[in-house]
Amino acid sequence: MPPPTSEIVNSSTTNNKCSIDGPAVARRSEAERINVRVMHAVARLTRFMRFTRQREVPKELLETALSNCGFPIAHYRQAFADLSGMTDAEAAEHFVQHGSREGRFVSMSLKPHGVLALREVLGKESLFLGQVLSALFTSHLRAQPHLLDGSEAAIQAVVALVRPFGGVPVMVFGDSHAVIYAVGKEVRGSQWLLPIDLRTIGASARGLGRDASSSGNGHRIRQFLETHLRKGDPLTPMLFAFGQVDLEFVLPYSAIKKQGLNTLPADYVEEFVGRTVEYYVAFLCSVVPEAVRDSAIVASVLPPTLSDNHWAEGYISALIGLENDPDLTARLRGFSIPPIAERAEMHRAFNARLKQVANAAGFRFLDAFSAFAGTNGCVDPRFAVISGGREHHLDQSPATFDSANTLLWSAIAA
């Protein structure tokens, strides 16, 4: 396959467009120039590898390789205070090992000739190659603002480029809890995951299909998918991970505010779960044509993480922030939330219903709840070490990302 002839650049300089302009002769000329650059880059890196004769890639080689790919190492080092004492070589190693997983992203312009040279030097089957490429492309995408809004061309260009290098792109739609799927880490053979982060923070599953929704999240997803499925690759896997916001915020808020309840009766929860799943899957059916639903994966909600002792300071504080209503505040303070074991059962019931309805509509289902639940049926403590029960998200930790990556691989390969 001939090397790509255009650079993928930051949206701030190209309005999120990536195209190859000019007549055929100009394109061939540019391709020849890129081939020369590739050969030169390969020669430089190969000489360095022969000189060091080390099995592991030296920091200095990695620095050269990342620079060839367009990664601004000095800017990366200067952008974060705790990296300022590092050399450029040390900063390059830090970026590959930790940077993208820690959310450290800087504006960059990927250079295909550098990526080609990197593959030639490290070898197509190199696990380290996948790790480097995953970090580079993840950083490139995460540094782009508002991927869900008008970035279809940029995403399509990245998808087309990464596949020849072993990249497996997956579009991640979801609320804030879906962050666990948005970091590509695992490398399998010559393949590596590239999650494309298209989350909409605070989105509720039942609100996605409402035209009058103030957030407009469903409308944004609909517009994006209409363009992508028309112009892009309809076989790029899509992951949808919504519902946690509904169970953990919308459900108690609705019970208190709209029904005047001071607890969550079983029949009320059952009716809420049924309606939410119905609205959610109806929205998915409206944005994902039946012909491509085999590429669409609906993820379960995760186990609840807020402990009984911290529910008040966690959820009540968040709910009170929605409205300046002293009466509502008093009712929230007196609300009797079910213990975490019962809340976990609510999540299981939601997942069982979601699996049934989503499968019937032609979607695949991913059981993430079981992967993050412990032997007692509640959240496995390994994934809530940092929060200690004070946070309604799973830890953003290596253990969490490792498990989420394994789940993504299993879902894509199914």
Check whether 15 has a pLDDT greater than 80. no
What does the alpha-carbon distance between residue 358 and residue 353 come to, in Å, rounded to a whole number?
8
Query: What is the band of 355 on the pLDDT scale with cuts at 50, 70, 90?
Result: very high
**Is the same domain home to 59 and 182?**
no
What pLDDT was estimated at residue 3?
38
Domain span at 389: 166-414
Q: Are 284 and 347 in contact (CB under 8 A)?
A: no
Q: Are 121 and 20 in contact (CB under 8 A)?
A: no
Q: Among 153, 180, 212, give the residue marking a domain's end.
A: 153
**Is the same domain home to 90 and 185?**
no
* Domain count within the chain: 2
What pLDDT was estimated at residue 284?
98
What does the alpha-carbon distance between residue 203 and residue 226 come to, in Å, rounded to a whole number?
19
What pLDDT was estimated at residue 47?
42
Check whether 265 has a pLDDT greater than 90. yes
What pLDDT was estimated at residue 77?
92
Average pLDDT of the chain to the nearest whole number: 80
Query: What is the band of 7 on the pLDDT scale with cuts at 50, 70, 90?
Result: very low
**Is the same domain home to 144 and 246?**
no
Instruction: Compute and round to an integer the Cα radius of gyration of the chain.
Output: 23
- Between the alpha carbon of residue 361 and those of residues 88, 281, 282, the distances in Å are 52, 8, 9
Express each pLDDT in 324-344 by its tens digit: 667 777 777 778 888 999 999
**Is the same domain home to 282 and 391?**
yes
Q: Which helix (H) or strand (E) holds 318?
A: helix 317-320
What pLDDT was estimated at residue 288?
96
The identity of residue 258, as a single letter, is: K
What pLDDT was estimated at residue 347?
97
Using the Cα atoms of residue 243, residue 184, residue 164 and residue 75 in order, give the sign of their dihedral.
positive
Query: What is the band of 74 on the pLDDT scale with cuts at 50, 70, 90?
Result: very high
DSSP letter, residue 250: I
